[in-house]
Amino acid sequence: MPRPRTERGPRKIEESRTGRVWWKPGEPHPLDALDEELTTLRDQLPAEIEALLLAAHQTQQHLEALQQIEQADDPTEAFTAADHLAARAVIERFHNRKHEHHLRTIFAIQRRKRLMGRLQAIRAALDLANGLLSEDETLSEEFLTTWREKTVEPMEPEPEPGVELELERTVEPEPEPEPEPAEPEPEPEGTEEIQGVVLSREELRVQHLDEPLTPLVGSVEQSRQLLRAFEAQLPALRSGLVAGNGWIEIFYVPKRHYKKEVIAYGSAWAHHLEHGRPLSPEVEQAIDPRVAACIRQNSPFPKELRDLVYDITRVGPYAKYRWREHKRIYTVSLGLLNDYPEYPFTPAGF
């Protein structure tokens, strides 16, 4: 799936146009805006670390609760109370339904599937977080400890009594001036000597440019791989969270029977075929000519003529619980315990 196209944002660095070839260090330059951005990032970093530590503390509290579950003989005991509450709610709502037992069972299955989906999503998120934390050494515990120490203002030690007086009495002898080193001979213009090797201007222009940039900006390759792997898991994680999604349908059953005028026309047409008796104008004019043509040709009525052929009675309401699983739809009837129609069933008006 292609990524959505994003609009180009405003320039944060103005273009350098006139005089850029003759610019010298120390003179104003549009790239000086990077200093302000670096200062802003330095100011934002402590807040991000604080937010990370807060999230880590909250995660630790949740994990401690999970560790208490792990120490139990049956880890699922922690969910037993929730199961009892849910089962009681099912009984209160559906105790008078024929399939009350099946409803309790399917709801319990779906609760556990959703719980498993949440646990799998949590585990995937923790794996991602642990992987991101393990990539950069600056996110290690040593860095966080050092950062905490830097945020606390150090207390200046009090001088011991008598030490300050002793320091005042002690006079350090003035060091003898060292001989000034001899000035090196100037290199030819456009060259520079590095470790005894004289490099030309052309060589200096490309010096160190073929070396990797990772030591300068850090590596995020592992983080990118972890994020790609996490994104690949998202469809399955979403599917686990909505596993067994169900819904209740209220529906009516349409019952059809022929209109009286259609029955009269059919009977008259049968007598015409058998005895040659002509149809009366009243019978012919009582129905639509298209319906009459279908009767004469003994062909089925098309869907668009059903309202002209049948009287439709909607019987109900009825209810059912349905859920989708592996692209199939399953149904549990919500019929009442004493809801049994007479046999044969004849709706009112038939």
Report whether pLDDT(69) > 80.
no
Question: Is residue 266 domain-resident?
Answer: yes
* Beta-sheet strands, E only, within the chain: 191-194, 197-200, 246-258, 310-325, 328-333
The predicted-structure confidence for 310-341, as pLDDT tens digits, reads as follows 888 888 899 999 998 888 899 999 999 988 76
**Which residues have C-beta within 8 Å of that of residue 256, sequence separation ≥ 6?**
306, 310, 311, 312, 313
Question: Is residue 305 domain-resident?
Answer: yes
pTM of the entire structure? Answer: 0.57
**How many structural domains are present in the chain?**
1
Question: Is residue 121 domain-resident?
Answer: no
Residue 99 pLDDT level (bands cut at 50, 70, 90): very high
Residue 139 pLDDT level (bands cut at 50, 70, 90): low
Question: Is residue 220 domain-resident?
Answer: no
Q: Give 211's DSSP letter.
A: S
Question: Is residue 308 domain-resident?
Answer: yes
Question: Is residue 52 domain-resident?
Answer: no
Question: Is residue 14 domain-resident?
Answer: no
Question: Is residue 320 domain-resident?
Answer: yes
- Please name every residue paired with 323 in a beta bridge, in sequence order, or none if there are none: 246, 330
**Which residues constitute the domain of residue 301?**
247-339
